[in-house]
Structure 1
Amino acid sequence: MQQNFINGFTHELKTPIASLRLFLDTFYKHELPRQEQLKYIEFMKRDTERLADNVEQILYLGRIEDRSYKGEMSLVDLSKFMESLIEKARHLHEDLEIKIKNSGENWCHVDRKLFEALVLNLISNSDRYKQSSSGLLEVDVLGEGAKITLSFKDNGIGIDKKFHKKIFKKFFQVGKSAKGSGLGLYFVWQVVKMHKGNIKVDSEGKDCGSLFTITLPRVKFND
């Protein structure tokens, strides 16, 4: 499994590096019109962001697995926080339509950086495993009683039911053709657990999309 991780993570790093090399080589060898330059610069920005996200995820995971680390918690309105994260994600995933709805203010304690990485990880998965060039992800924030339910529902390739209990395990990947390092959903699970929450996945199988549901403790204020 560790070898699968090394292969997967190396691939995750090499892909944007190869892309950056190609774009830089193009700049070096050709005189490009300004409009073309701006297009390639935007591509390179995305590749550097992808590299940074991959490295940051490994560093975060190392901190989380250190049991003494409890996170840098702050009180946030998860509805507004999610709206800001979705806006950022739309810029990074232009071929994925992302819709969000919420039930008003929903306050909870989160580590902002870790939770942002969690959300962007789930969104990246929806983009990576979409069925067509234009996928759909629906994000819902619902506060009820003592808990907040955060759901991510997509119309992607789906997940076979036999993998539902395994998918959050470290280094686990669905089949040899799986993309990524095998750490993404393990990272998500660890972050949710650190926030004293729960996460589950539902999918009817191949080509039926996936639903990831996270529940978190909700902070209620006295009227």
Structure 2
Amino acid sequence: MRKSLVIFYALVVYAFAELIWWGILLVEIQPERRTMILGEGAVFILLFFTGAYQLQKTLRKEQKLHEQQKNFLLSVTHELKSPLASIKLYLQTILKRNLDKEQMHSFLNNSLKDIERLDDLVENMLIATRIDNHSYSFPKEEFNLSDLVERVASRLQIHTCSSQIIKLDLEPEICVTGDKFALTLVISNLIENAVKYSPPCEEIAVGLKKTSNGISFTVADKGIGIKDEEKARIFDKFYRVGSEDTRKTKGTGLGLYIVKQVLDKHLALIKVKNNRPAGSIFEVTFNSNGH
């Protein structure tokens, strides 16, 4: 892509030099038409540079998308390797050692949760593709959102810390009508995001309650936070907070994109606020009808 930009700039300079040269020759041949030649030349130069600028923007956009896709593939590879390595280690330990029933159950349970983590990653990629292709229909049903949040939080707990850092404050029996599968990904992505960007064993507060505006679901972390200039871009596809050179946290850049797309289809709003003294709060509001 860089080579293409160099060639593009060289062609622009060459074309501009040729235009000036032919303009000078025309003025020398027909000096009485100098004003007309200069006027038409100015209009042509304006159109030429406008087109060149738009083409350059397109090339840079393609270059950025190419870099994002490359980083996405590297991130997916890492995201797949971590749980696979964990599952492999658990199974090798089970085969090589004489474990009691409780240890065996713990190892198998942890392996199952790693498999569910892999399943989440695959589902994220599949639903992102189907959303882009407009081939996902978002089937609606009524279900218990309180139970769903509790189940997702419990599953993600083991990947965070041995102590209880995901603190739940859920009103019971809150029901919504929506796509249960897609909303499960919303809850999973928001909580897992908070886990990824929080220091080890730091508390993450997950809340669900009814308000005067409808139903409020919040995830608050005490992590690195999000700069104000980045808040408008975090829901873009492949976008990730920080630079690729300094970022330590792995991810695909699909999670928040999926969150926004799914919530838009459910007519739900999502806001990102600063947590105090550090971190971020993601607040989702479903309307009073629960859709």
Whether TM exceeds 0.5 here: the answer is yes
Q: Which residue is 1:123 aligned to?
A: 191
Match of 1:217 in 2: 287
- For residues 106 and 82 of structure 1, the distance between their equivalents in structure 2, rounded to whole angstroms, comes to 5
Q: Measure, in 1, the Cα distance between the counterparts of 2:174 and 2:100.
A: 48
Equivalent pair of 1:108/1:217 in contact (CA under 8 Å): no
Equivalent in the alignment of 1:168? 235
Q: Which residue does 1:63 correspond to in 2? A: 130
Tell me the CA shift for residue 14 of structure 1.
1.0
> Which structure is higher in strand share?
1
Quickly say closer, same or farther: Cα 1:105–1:24, change in 2 above 3 A.
Answer: closer
Q: Which amino acid aligns with 1:140?
A: L
Q: Would the alpha carbon gap of residues 109 and 22 (structure 1) be closer, same or farther in structure 2, given more than 3 Å must change?
A: same
Contact 2:271 2:282 in 1 (8 A): yes
Q: Secondary structure at the match of 2:206?
A: strand
Structure 1 pair 38–52 and aligned structure 2 pair: CA distance change class (3 A)? same
Q: CA deviation at 1:142?
A: 3.0
Note if 1:86 corresponds to 2:150.
yes
| Aligned positions, number | 214
Give the Cα–Cα distance (whole angstroms) in 1 for the partners of residues 101 and 189 of structure 2. 33
1:169-208 C-alpha deviation (Å, 9 max, x unpaired): 1111123323211111111111111112222211269x61
- Map of 1:1-223 to 2, 5 A cutoff? 1-76=68-143, 80-94=144-158, 95=161, 96-102=165-171, 108-145=176-213, 147-175=214-242, 176-203=247-274, 208-219=278-289
Distance 1:41 1:211, change over 3 A: same
In 1: Cα distance, 2:146 partner to 2:271 partner: 19
**Structure (1/2) with the larger helix percentage:** 2
CA distance in 2, matches of 1:114, 1:154: 23
Alignment RMSD (CA, Å) = 2.5
Report SS of the residue matched to 1:151: strand
Over alpha carbons, which structure has the higher Rg?
Answer: 2
- Amino acid of the residue matched to residue 109 of structure 1? T
- Secondary structure of the residue aligned to 1:7 is helix
1: distance between equivalents of 2:173 and 2:109? 35
Residue pair 2:237, 2:254 contacting (<8 A) in 1 also: yes
Q: Which runs of 5+ in 2 are unaligned?
A: 1-67
Q: Any stretches of 5+ residues in structure 1 without a counterpart?
A: none
Q: Percent identity?
A: 31
